[in-house]
Amino acid sequence: MNGSSVVAGAALFVAALSVVSAPAAARLAGADRQAFVESSLKSCSDTIHKNNPKVAASTVEAYCNCMAEAEADMTTDADAEYMKAHAALPPDYRGRVQALAPACNAKAGGK
């Protein structure tokens, strides 16, 4: 599996993490946003390092930072309310997160 595939796969993991992170943060602002981003960043990094330790640390950091910030930016109050009420992602959420991956992969130097 190449680094680009692993990095793209991490986007899905970050989305799944939202189920845990977002309900605790009804609004992604201030300390709640910071906690969301930090948790997403750590989970993304851990997952990539575990699944493909050959991906350069700088690439993982750039990709995961981008994904965590972008996901926090796109997560609306309505998304957080949905996650809290249903303990699940909104129906379109995974697709919106996946759409973030190409730009973050490019920022991280991937193809």
Of how many residues is the chain composed?
A: 111
Report whether pLDDT(19) > 50.
no
The pLDDT, as a whole number, for residue 98 is: 93
pLDDT digits (tens, 9 = 90+) for 27-74: 578 888 898 899 889 999 999 999 999 999 999 999 999 999 999 999
Pick the more confident residue, 15 or 52. Answer: 52
The pLDDT, as a whole number, for residue 81 is: 84
- What is the percent of the chain where pLDDT is above 70? 75
The pLDDT, as a whole number, for residue 23 is: 40
Closest listed residue to residue 55, CA positions, set 108, 3, 103, 20: 3
User: Rounded to an integer, what distance in angstroms lies between the CA atom of residue 21 and that of residue 39?
Assistant: 7
pLDDT digits (tens, 9 = 90+) for 71-93: 999 988 888 889 889 999 999 99
The pLDDT, as a whole number, for residue 25 is: 38
The pLDDT, as a whole number, for residue 51 is: 95
- DSSP state letters, 66-92: HHHHHHHHH--HHHHHHHHHHSS--TT
